[in-house]
Amino acid sequence: MEMNSIFEKFGIVTDLAVEAHSLVRGDAQTEIPGVIESKEKFDIAEVTTIIIENPAAGSLMGKAPGTYITIDTPGLRENDPPLHDKISEILASKIETLLKNLNIADDAEILLVGLGNWSATPDALGPRVISHVMVTRHLHKYLPQSLGPGFRPVSALSPGVMGITGIETAEIIRGTVEKVKPSCVIAIDALAATNVDRICSTIQIADTGINPGSGVGNQRMGIDINTLGIPVIAIGIPTVVNAAIIIFEAFNALKKEIPGFARQIQEPTLNQIADKLLAPFGGDLSVTPKEIDTLIDNAALCIATALNQSLHKAVGKENAHLFLQ
């Protein structure tokens, strides 16, 4: 499990439970006790559900216990709105599944939170989703006659990142939760993957909230039931791979090619090489595709459509477009 030392050294975690699971299972793909993985096939997507049953399994996986659903769907990268509508439908049904698991009623109030930095493209997924999603809480409160049946109260917040606010994001959300008193928070965040293949082609939904250290912007405090007092569903899409990961993936591939390589060259030497190559920005370098601006715009619309559909009975797959902002 050499990757772990790398993760520790560079403060990198994979935000994806499927990647963590595969990593922990290792080349032999041994079963991990307390972790259940199952798969569903759709014509446009493969959905993997990983349930981490207990803290012991969570500790092995470096993830909180709970349910992690991963939708793998390379079509999300294509510029094909009708295909994105189909992805939104799958995502919407999975959000509904998690809300049901958490016993959130159909009319219970939800607070959406867009994590990340509006003005740093690869970290802007959350705020962009917020700018597209329908909010109804103020209408319920001030103009109830303007809403037909089938719309629950939904509010939304883009709190910003600590470098711009000076405040832990979790604190701003907690303060708002205490005023708004929703039944559940759904937090959207840009994730870091360990494989470029996952950039803007994977969507992860989890009922465990956001762990400290996760996301492109690296949350300091968790955003979960422990910090907020209410359940938190997290929706994330990988938008970057840390540049250090790319180097170590290359070294790992080499190890498999050259017998004895692992003995010949020590971990510390590899660390030194990566350190030196990436030093100028404190290792804080990301790998992104050139078309990242477009990819993130499309992904944000796809998530916003799914949220509108899953949160309001009155919004179906045929009319979901009508409620995008």
Site for its own copies in 103-162 (CB under 8 A): 118-123, 130-131, 135-139, 153-160, 162
Among 3, 76, 95, 199, binds its own copies (CB under 8 A): 199
* Rounded least distance, CB 141 to its own copies, Å: 8
* Rounded least distance, CB 52 to its own copies, Å: 28
Nearer to its own copies, 53 or 118 (CB): 118
Q: Please report, for residues 22, 49, 246, the alpha-carbon distance to residue 9 in angstroms, rounded to integers and kept in the order given.
A: 20, 29, 15
Under rule CB under 8 A, residue 258 binds its own copies: yes
**Pattern of binders to its own copies over 81-100, x per CB under 8 A?**
xx------------------
26: tokens are 């290792």
Q: Which of 226, 192, 237, 223 is nearest to 112 (CA)?
A: 223
Q: Which of 299, 279, 321 is nearest to 116 (CA)?
A: 299
- Residues numbered 1 to 60 that lie near its own copies (CB under 8 A) are none
Under rule CB under 8 A, residue 324 binds its own copies: yes
- Residues numbered 202 to 231 that lie near its own copies (CB under 8 A) are 216
Kind of pairing, strands 35-41 and 46-52? antiparallel
Q: How many residues bind its own copies (CB under 8 A)?
A: 84
- The whole-angstrom separation of Cα 70 and Cα 267 is 32
**Cα angle at 277 between 271 and 279, to 5 degrees?**
90
Among 51, 243, 262, 314, binds its own copies (CB under 8 A): 243
Nearer to its own copies, 60 or 120 (CB): 120
* Rounded least distance, CB 179 to its own copies, Å: 4
The three-state secondary structure class of 205 is: strand
Nearer to its own copies, 14 or 49 (CB): 14
Under rule CB under 8 A, residue 176 binds its own copies: yes
Q: Please report, for residues 160, 302, 318, 323, the alpha-carbon distance to residue 305 in angstroms, rounded to integers and kept in the order given.
A: 22, 5, 11, 8
Q: Contact 105/149 with Cβ under 8 angstroms? A: no
Q: Which stretch binds its own copies (CB under 8 A): 53-61, 63-71, 100-108, 286-294?
A: 286-294
DSSP 194: S
- The whole-angstrom separation of Cα 183 and Cα 104 is 7
Q: Contact 118/160 with Cβ under 8 angstroms? A: yes
Among 144, 148, 149, 163, binds its own copies (CB under 8 A): 163
- The whole-angstrom separation of Cα 240 and Cα 53 is 29
Among 93, 146, 226, 264, binds its own copies (CB under 8 A): 264
Q: Which stretch binds its own copies (CB under 8 A): 4-12, 30-38, 76-84, 94-102?
A: 76-84
Nearer to its own copies, 53 or 249 (CB): 249
